[in-house]
Amino acid sequence: MSSSGKTISVVFLTSLLLVRSLLVPFILMDFTLRQDYIATYLCENRDKPSLHCDGKCYLAKKLKAAHEAQDREASQRLLNQILDGPAQLLTLHFVFPERPVKEARSSVSDTYHCVFPEAASLRFFQPPRFI
């Protein structure tokens, strides 16, 4: 893939993330820009001017739909992670390095000195032997 293709794909993916994260502010901006049109033509309570809804019911519906879509998507992602988790564990390969096995010591005194290292130094401080 050429560098221009990578740049275009990065810009495209970044813009998708921005649009997705700014969905609620876009809905609010759309409502404020088109509030007169929404209140006149799209509001459910346009026949009841005493409620002073002014299209807020339409805004509430849009915000609720956006939050439900985000919740549905989040739960779907969680479900996919839960279901795909064990499958990913099956593809893991554990490699344990082999260590050389040391030969077992036959002498009990060497084992004793390994467990009690201070005993090894006592071996030198023995009384002289008489022949």
In this prediction the pTM is 0.53
CA distance 48 to 103: 94
pLDDT of residue 98: 76
CA distance 70 to 25: 14
Q: Which residues of the chain have pLDDT under 70?
A: 1, 86-92, 101-127, 129-131
pLDDT of residue 108: 52
CA atoms in the 13 A half-sphere facing the CB of 28: 4
The domain ranges of the chain are 22-78
pLDDT of residue 78: 84
pLDDT of residue 29: 93
CA distance 82 to 89: 12
| 8 A C-beta contact, residue 42 and residue 59 | no
CA distance 10 to 1: 12
Q: Tokens for 127?
A: 């009384």
